[in-house]
Each structure stands twice: as structure tokens, then as C-alpha cells.
Amino acid sequence: MQTDILLKRLQTFEFLRGLDRETLAALAKSAVWKVFAPDAVVFWEGDTETNLYYLQYGSLKVLKTSPDGREQVLRFLDAGEIFNEIGVFAKRANPATAIALEESGIWLLPRQALEDVLLAHPRTALQILESMADRFISLVALTADLSLRTVKARFAKLLLEQAEGDVIERRRWTNQTEMAAHLGTVPDVLSRVIRELTKAGLIEMDKHQIRILDRAGLAERAMIQGK
């Protein structure tokens, strides 16, 4: 059963560690299962959302949109991740929009069920605060990158962070438009950066992979010390 799969996953969540099986089973039973088609909006920025989300399969992007329609991707989400902690625990309007990049199966955990857990297990609230603090630190790092690094440096840093070995696998939706939105730029600028790094012999790229050829040189472009 689907709820059995969710229960097994809840048992692995760091912010729920220490909870007994009965409590986790009740939380799993309260959850609602939804499937979102590619490009479907999971929730809009400004909506008041009362659920914590667990992405069982698929991929999402979480983004902010400027008045002129320009997107800034805050994070990409893969299977196994949870999101919307701020919306559900801070009881505020969603600070960003979440969109499915491919068919995605998502569990919605209701706020009331989570609040019942917190009231019965206060230590869990501290663990949730730790999780939210980690998310805040990630957003601070993103802000610093956008403010202090050039597009070239941000792209080089992204490649170094995402590489397994020296290879970054490109998924179907990982096109230059999505990468540019994640880096806070536009596709034309990113294309020039890719050509420059390729010409310098630092990377090579095709429709399936990006390969790092010179890690030290790429780290220098990323303005990362000690790499």
C-alpha cells in the first residue's frame, strides 16, 4: 500500500527521529496522495498552504517570479525531499511557487496532524527548527552567490557541487533556460559562459552530460579557495 511506503520514509526523516511507529503511522494515515503532470503548479507564491509536502517521485523547481516575468529558481527538488516547511510551520503565505518538471507523485501532510505530533512530542519541534535553519543557511548562501559571484563563477561552482566524479548527468528538463533561471541570469549570457569555459578546456558538454576536464581551473573560475 502507498501509506506503507510513506510510513517507511517517515521513519528515515531526521526531523521526526525518535517518534514511535504508532505516531508515524497516524501521520502517514492523515496524508493525501496527489500526482502532478509536467509543468503543473503544485502551489503558487502568495497562496496560504496548510500542508507539508513529501516528493515520492519526480522532480520540481521552486522559484520566485519578478513583476516582469523573470524567474529565479531557489532550488530543485528530487525524489525523497520534503518542502514547504515555512508555509506550514510559520503559517505564512508561500514565499515561492513550486512547479513539476516531470510527472511527480507527492504526499501532502496536513498541518493539523503535524501540530498534533508537535504538541505530544515537543522535542520534535526543536528538530524541525534545526531543519528550517539548514534551509535558511542555504538561502543565505544563494543570496551571497547572486550578490558576490559573476555568472561564470556561479556556473562553475554549480558544476563542481553537482558533479559525481567529474560528470554531471543532464536530465530531460535540465536545459539552458532552467539552468539560467537557477543561476539568476538569462540563457544568452549562460551560453556565452559555456562557450568560454569550453574553449578554455575546462568542460565539455553534450545533450546528456557535462564533463569537467580541469577541476582546478574550474575552481579558480568559481572563486573557490583551496580547491
pLDDT at 177: 83
Q: Residue 223 and residue 199: Cα distance in Å, rounded? A: 19
Task: Please write the tens of the pLDDT for every residue from 141-163.
Answer: 777 777 778 999 999 998 998 88
> Does residue 32 register a pLDDT over 80?
yes
Around Cβ 182, how many Cβ atoms within 10 Å?
Answer: 22
Least confident piece of the model among 4-18, 26-40, 130-144: 130-144
pLDDT at 225: 53
> Does residue 227 register a pLDDT over 50?
no
What CATH number does domain 150-221 carry, 3.30.70.360, 1.10.1780.10, 1.10.10.10, 3.40.50.2000? Answer: 1.10.10.10
CATH 1.10.10.10-classified regions of the chain: 150-221
pTM above 0.95, yes or no: no
pLDDT at 1: 59
Which CATH code fits 2-146? Answer: 2.60.120.10
CATH 2.60.120.10-classified regions of the chain: 2-146
> Does residue 173 register a pLDDT over 70?
no
Cα three-residue angle 118-119-123, rounded to 5 degrees: 50
Comparing C-alpha atoms, which of 140, 171, 146, 147 is closest to residue 158? Answer: 146
pLDDT at 189: 93
As a whole number, the mean pLDDT across the chain is 86
pLDDT at 66: 80
Q: 64 to each of 23, 100, 167, 172, how far by Cα in Å?
A: 35, 15, 29, 22
Residue 192 cell numbers, joined: 556565452
Residue 209 cell numbers, joined: 552530460
Helices 122-148 and 151-162 cross at an angle (nearest 10°) of 140
Task: Please write the tens of the pLDDT for every residue from 174-210.
Answer: 778 888 888 888 889 999 999 999 999 999 988 888 9
Query: What number is the average pLDDT over the span 60-75?
Result: 86
Per DSSP, the residues of 81-100 read -EE-HHHHHS--B-SSEEEE
Task: Please write the tens of the pLDDT for every residue from 110-143.
Answer: 999 988 888 888 777 777 777 777 777 777 777 7
* Phi, psi dihedral angles at 150 (to 5 degrees): -70, 170
